[in-house]
Amino acid sequence: MPSKCVGILTSGGDAPGMNAAIRAVTRAAIYNGMRVKGIYRGYKGMITDEIEEFKTQNVSNIIQRGGTILKTARCAEFKTPEGRKQAYDKLMEHGIDSLVVIGGDGSLTGARIFADEYNMPIVGLPGTIDNDLWGTDITIGYDTALNTIMECVDKIRDTATSHERLFFIEVMGREAGFLALNGAIASGAEAAIIPEISLEKDQLAEMIETGFRKSKNSSIVLVAESPVTGGAMGVAERVKKEYPQFDVRVSILGHLQRGGSPSAQDRILATRMGVAAVDALLDGQRNVMIGIQNDQIVNVPFSKAIKKNKPINEGLLNALRISSI
């Protein structure tokens, strides 16, 4: 039986474009004759009963706003069968018979478990700046975060050049290096240190031994935050010990990467994905994440999306290496 009432929530780390996705899901559901209920604070709001009927006006004037109007949270109770039972009971009280979950791999892992336990149709949208979900070329929020990183690095480059310093700039990404690698290409950095490569080779030693500074007196290296890379502080400490000739500084960009008005690309992606999520529910699809591959919307089973081994494109490594000589 097609869904009559869809609940929508945002969970885990927020990402620019989540509001555009909430707007699109709400309007697509109403357009197709369904009711929509906004669930506040991720899975926590299902347990604490923070659920409200959404009309088209509830999502007016939000496409341009960063963050999420539904708020977001990390909810430990939802990781327990008792917590999920409480959540399910509340959904039943509200007449919610399907869910759209917008979040990262943790949120989609929770969705998968819940869907299996309660036979609930759930469609996920990849909402994370990390871009670490398998089966989609990009995730909602990634493009905006990349643009933010690029703007910050452009500014740091001014002072790096003036002082002829070596800067290690740490960017987010959890265990993935997409923000670091593409941020480095976009900002003209000299190198990126990413977890996907760290286990294979000593990127720092290779970078310095191949004379990465070339003709330049200042250098910028983007470091992915993962424990595998050691983060920017870890890398800088090593340089101070092993290569004391460099005047090193560290900058950790932190949560500013998650904020700001979403880029046009993120707004369009979120809108397409939101509409596709409702289409998928109407089509009887369940337990899939909406992805985009070669500009085409695809449905990716949760089990594949959360595998955590989305590969880095080798061509990007090459492009960075060659373009920074």
75 binds, among ligand F6P, ligand ADP, none (CB under 5 to 8 A by kind): ligand ADP
Q: Judged by CB under 6 A, does residue 251 bind ligand ADP?
A: no
Q: Which residue has the tokens 């994905």?
A: 273
Kind and range of the H or E run holding 291: strand 288-293
> By the 8 A CB rule, do 59 and 18 touch?
no
Q: Which of 99, 150, 105, 109 is nearest to 127 (CA)?
A: 105
Our finding on whether 219 is near ligand ADP (CB under 6 A) is: no
- Look up residue 55 and give its two tokens: 């009309």
Supply the minimum distance, in Å, between the C-beta of residue 10 and ligand ADP: 9
For ligand F6P, the closer CB: 173 or 291: 173
Q: Show the site string, 65-104: x = touches ligand ADP by CB under 6 A, - = not.
A: ---------xx--xx-----------------------xx
Name the burial class of residue 86, with classes exposed (0-12), middle (13-18) and buried (19+) by CB atoms within 10 angstroms of its CB.
Answer: middle
Q: Among 10, 26, 98, 109, which residue interacts with ligand ADP (rule: CB under 6 A)?
A: 109
Letters for 18-47 (x = contact with ligand ADP by CB under 6 A, - = none) are -------------------------x----
Six-digit token pair at 77? 């109770």
CB of 254 to ligand F6P, least distance (A): 8
CB 231 within 8 A of CB 223: yes
Q: Specify the residue for token string 């959904």.
A: 91
Instruction: Find the angle CA(149)-CA(306)-CA(233) to the nearest 5 degrees.
Output: 35
Residue 11 in contact with ligand ADP, rule: CB under 6 A: yes
Q: Which does 173 bind (CB under 5 to 8 A by kind): ligand F6P, ligand ADP, none?
A: ligand F6P
Pick 5 or 69: Cβ nearer ligand F6P: 69
Residue 315 beta carbon to ligand F6P: minimum distance, rounded to whole angstroms: 24
Shortest approach of ligand ADP to residue 186 CB, angstroms? 23
Residue number, 97 or 225, with CB nearest to ligand F6P: 225
Counting beta carbons within 10 angstroms of the beta carbon of residue 179, is it exposed (0 to 12), middle (13 to 18) or buried (19 or more)? buried
Nearest-approach distance from CB 146 to ligand F6P, in angstroms: 12
10 Å CB burial of residue 245 (0-12, 13-18, 19+) is: exposed
Least separation in angstroms between CB 6 and ligand F6P: 25
Question: Nearest Cα to 248, choosing from 259, 258, 239?
Answer: 239
Q: Which of 97, 130, 132, 266 is catalytic?
A: 130
For ligand F6P, the closer of residues 121 and 127 by Cβ is 127
Which residues of the shown chain bind ligand F6P in the complex (CB under 6 A)?
A: 13, 104, 128-130, 172-174, 225, 258
* Residues in a beta bridge with 102: 10, 125
The residue whose Cβ lies closest to ligand ADP is 106
Closest C-alpha to 103, from 194, 39, 148: 39
Determine whether 49 is an active site residue.
no
CA pseudo-torsion sign 7, 16, 274, 284:
negative
Element (H, E) at 297: strand 296-301
Residues noted as catalytic: 130
> What residue ranges bind ligand ADP (CB under 6 A)?
11-13, 43, 74-75, 78-79, 103-107, 109-110, 113, 128
